Amino acid sequence: MSNRKEIIQTREAALENRIASVFVHVTDLRRSAEWYSRLMGLPVLEERLNGGPVYWFDLPGTHLILDSNMNNRQNPDWDDRMLPRFMLPARNIDDAYREVSGKAEPFFEPERHGIMAYFNFPDSEGNALMACWSAKSGEDRELESQSPILPRIGGVFVDVKDMRSAAAWYTDLLGLSLDEENAGKSIYSIPVTGGAGLLLDQNRFLNQEEFKELFYLETENFEAALDYVRSGGFRLADEPKHFHDLSEFALLDPDGNRIVVAQMKRKGD
């Protein structure tokens, strides 16, 4: 799942080629905040459970946003097709809207809320994304964790059916060159400038699997992470898997969202 490769930029796009935040859509914000906090060994921040629609984790590189969509569902024009999987930073929201409109049909025009503005749009296969501009950005910092599962998102998955078409669409969106050789594989890693990897994944379509995997969290001690979730009563989705370059297991959060925990294998392991 490595996403670190040379970035060949063909032009400066209106959207940055990095994932600022990943979304998990939940039904009970407190329950989910407590579950994800316990998984990553972080304290629950009560000030973020103040009646608003979201709870967020300021993770290094790529943030995690739990979204109840409480406000969205009060909008008669809203439907679940618009639920974004992740957020891409916009250098300028109006430039981003014009550029994206040439490649997709945004669900709505930019919404502006003081120091931030955003709009949602579908990718070439109907996955909803968010473009967001903000006047301020927080500095990345390492978090003190009491869990062997690190509070760090290693990669975000996008399920695709037609890999070559999807890879061409994303690279064009972000002003990158297409890696023709890797576009024929079942996983295509979009090179990013930092934070979580952006991984187009055709495996679930090829294997005729109905589930989706949202992202993976990193661990540096796979067996300790596995013991931690088993002893903590977390729900495993299936048995752990071991591949030549990584070991992984999947969990189901309180809403059934499938989250992966993975350890990359170093050469010589």
The model's pLDDT over 191-247, given as tens digits with 9 standing for 90+, comes to 999 999 999 999 999 999 999 999 999 999 999 999 999 999 999 999 999 998 899
Same domain, 129 and 185: no
Residue 246 lies in a domain: yes
Residue 223 lies in a domain: yes
Same domain, 105 and 39: yes
Instruction: Inform me whether the pLDDT recorded for 61 exceeds 50.
Output: yes
The model's pLDDT over 157-178, given as tens digits with 9 standing for 90+, comes to 999 999 999 999 999 999 999 9
Q: Please tell me the predicted confidence (pLDDT) of residue 161.
A: 96
Q: Tell me the one-letter amino acid at 156.
A: V
Same domain, 95 and 158: no
The model's pLDDT over 234-261, given as tens digits with 9 standing for 90+, comes to 999 999 999 988 999 999 999 999 999 9
| Number of domain units in the chain | 2
Q: Tell me the one-letter amino acid at 161.
A: K
The model's pLDDT over 21-35, given as tens digits with 9 standing for 90+, comes to 999 999 999 999 999
Same domain, 155 and 189: yes
Query: What is the distance between the alpha carbons of residues 179 and 191, in angstroms, rounded to a whole number?
Result: 10
Q: Please tell me the predicted confidence (pLDDT) of residue 70.
A: 92
Instruction: Inform me whether the pLDDT recorded for 138 exceeds 80.
Output: no
Residue 207 lies in a domain: yes
Q: What DSSP state is assigned to residue 46?
A: G
Query: What is the distance between the alpha carbons of residues 204 and 172, in angstroms, rounded to a whole number?
Result: 24
Q: Tell me the one-letter amino acid at 44.
A: V
Q: Please tell me the predicted confidence (pLDDT) of residue 3.
A: 46
- Considering only CA atoms, which of 103, 243, 251, 68 is closest in space to residue 173? 103
Tokens 């979204």 found at? 67
Same domain, 160 and 189: yes
Between residues 6 and 119, the one the model is more confident about: 119
Question: In which band, very low, low, confident or very high, does the pLDDT at 74 lie, cut at 50, 70 and 90?
Answer: confident
Q: Contact at 8 Å (CB) between 54 and 67?
A: yes
The model's pLDDT over 97-132, given as tens digits with 9 standing for 90+, comes to 999 999 999 999 999 999 999 999 999 999 999 999
Residue 29 lies in a domain: yes
Q: Contact at 8 Å (CB) between 211 and 250?
A: no
Residue 12 lies in a domain: no
Exposure string for 151-178, b = 16+ CB within 10 A, e = fewer: bbbbbbbbbbeebeebbbbbbbbbbbeb
Q: Please tell me the predicted confidence (pLDDT) of residue 143.
A: 84
Residue 123 lies in a domain: yes
Query: What is the distance between the alpha carbons of residues 188 and 205, in angstroms, rounded to a whole number?
Result: 14
Question: Which of 134, 160, 195 corresponds to the end of one domain?
Answer: 134
Instruction: Inform me whether the pLDDT recorded for 148 exceeds 60.
Output: yes
The domain in which residue 65 lies consists of: 21-134
Q: Please tell me the predicted confidence (pLDDT) of residue 8.
A: 79
In sequence order, what are the residues at sequence separation of 6 or more whose Cβ sits closer than 8 angstroms to the Cβ of residue 5?
189, 191
Q: What is the CATH number of the domain that holds 211?
A: 3.10.180.10
Query: What is the distance between the alpha carbons of residues 119 and 96, in angstroms, rounded to a whole number?
Result: 9
Provide the CB-side half-sphere exposure for 168 (13 A, CA). Answer: 6
Query: What is the distance between the alpha carbons of residues 134 and 141, in angstroms, rounded to a whole number?
Result: 19
The residues pairing with 127 across neighbouring beta strands, listed in sequence order, are none
Same domain, 118 and 176: no
Same domain, 111 and 164: no
Same domain, 118 and 162: no
Share of the chain above pLDDT 70, in %: 95
Question: Which of 134, 159, 179 corresponds to the end of one domain?
Answer: 134
Supply the pTM of this predicted model.
0.93
Same domain, 71 and 167: no
Same domain, 154 and 260: yes
Residue 6 lies in a domain: no
Instruction: Inform me whether the pLDDT recorded for 184 exceeds 80.
Output: yes
Question: Which of 134, 160, 194 corresponds to the end of one domain?
Answer: 134
